[in-house]
Amino acid sequence: MANNITISLDGLTKRFDSFTAVNNISFSLGKGEVLGFLGPNGAGKSTTMKMLTGYLPITQGRASICGYDVVSSPLSAQERIGYLPEGAPLYGDMSSIEFLRFVAEVRGFRGAERNQKVENAVSKLELGSVINKPIETLSKGFKRRVGFAQAILHDPDVLILDEPTDGLDPNQKHQVRSLIMEMAPDKAIVISTHLLEEVSAVCSRAIIISNGNLVFDGTPKDFAKLGPLDEAFRELTSEKSIKKRSNKKRSIKTRPKKENR
C-alpha cells in the first residue's frame, strides 16, 4: 500500500525569520500521478519545491522521496529526483552537450552509459540542432528544453518542475505537455504553473496554495466544478476566504480517499 507513495510531505513549514513562506503543508503523491501545483505569486510553490529537492533547509515538518527523508538522506533522495528549478538556470558558457554530460557524470554515469543517457535526453527534447552551441546563445525555449533534458536524463522516479512551460510558445508548450504525459505512468510528477488550463490538460490532481497555506486539494474536475477556473482560483486565494478557512482551521479537501492504493 504505502510502497506506491513516492513523494510525501508532512507538516512541511518554512519560515524566513518571522515570515512564514510555507505553512504546514501535507500531501502525498504516488506513481502515475501528475500534480499541478498552483498558487498566486509568492504563495510558496518554489519554496516548497526547494525544500523537497534538498536545497533549502526545512523549518518544521518532514518530506521524503521514495521513502528517503530529504534531510537525513539527501543524496539518496536527490538521486531519485529530476529537478527543473524556476527560470531553468544553466551554465551559459557550456554547450548543451557538455552540460548534459556534466550532469550525467555528477549522477554517476560514465563512458558509453553516459553517452547513451545524454543521447536519449537530447532526442526526447529534440535538441540535436543546437547541441554544440553555447547555452547562453540559445533561445529561451531551447534553454528551457536543455533544463528539462537535464532533469529527465537519469529517468528519475520523481520529477519536480518549477514552471516548465513559462515563456514558451504554444507549440513548445504543447510539446512539453505531451512529454510530461508520456512520462507520467511510471513517475510521480509535480509541476508548478500559473496556467490553469494546463492543469486540466496534463494533471491528474491539483493543489492550490496561498500565502503558504494549502487551500485546495483535489482533481482538476473537482476544481472545475467550483466554477470558471480563474474565478474559482481568485476566490480560493483571496484574503477573505483564507481568513474564513483558517477560522474553521480547515482547508477544502474534495479529494476522495483512494482505497485501491
Ligand X SMILES: Nc1ncnc2c1ncn2[C@@H]1O[C@H](COP(=O)(O)OP(=O)(O)OP(=O)(O)O)[C@@H](O)[C@H]1O
Between CA 53 and CA 200 the distance in angstroms is 25
The interface region with Mg ion, picked from 42-50, 164-172, 173-181, 202-210 by CB under 5 A, is: 42-50
Give me the 72-91 binding string for ligand X, x by CB under 6 A, dash otherwise: --------------x-----
Q: Are 83 and 103 in contact (CB under 8 A)?
A: no
Number of residues that bind another protein (CB under 8 A): 30
Residue with cell string 543524496: 75
Is there binding between residue 8 and ligand X (CB under 6 A)?
no
* 3-state DSSP assignment of residue 219: coil
Could you tell me which of 181, 214, 172, 186 has the C-alpha nearest to residue 199?
181
Report what 225 binds from Mg ion, another protein, ligand X, none; CB cut-off 5-8 Å by kind.
Answer: none
DSSP state of 205: E
Helix (H) or strand (E) holding 105: helix 96-106
Is there binding between residue 153 and another protein (CB under 8 A)?
no
Is there binding between residue 41 and ligand X (CB under 6 A)?
yes
Q: Phi first, then psi: give them for residue 108, nearest 5 degrees.
A: 95, 10
With CB under 8 A as the contact rule, the residue among 10, 79, 119, 166 that binds another protein is 79
Between CA 252 and CA 64 the distance in angstroms is 24
Could you tell me which of 214, 219, 261 has the C-alpha nearest to residue 242?
214
Is there binding between residue 237 and another protein (CB under 8 A)?
no
Report what 228 binds from another protein, ligand X, Mg ion, none; CB cut-off 5-8 Å by kind.
Answer: none
Q: Are 42 and 68 in contact (CB under 8 A)?
A: no
Is there binding between residue 112 and another protein (CB under 8 A)?
no
Q: Compute and round to an integer the Cα radius of gyration of the chain.
A: 18
With CB under 5 A as the contact rule, the residue among 6, 8, 23, 46 that binds Mg ion is 46
**CB nearer to Mg ion: pick between 40 and 67:** 40
Is there binding between residue 193 and Mg ion (CB under 5 A)?
no
With CB under 6 A as the contact rule, the residue among 6, 8, 23, 47 that binds ligand X is 47
Is there binding between residue 39 and ligand X (CB under 6 A)?
yes
Min dist CB 157 to ligand X, Å, is 23
With CB under 8 A as the contact rule, the residue among 94, 181, 224, 229 that binds another protein is 94
Between CA 2 and CA 217 the distance in angstroms is 20
Contacts with ligand X by CB under 6 A lie at 16, 19, 21, 39, 41-47, 86
Contacts with Mg ion by CB under 5 A lie at 45-46, 86
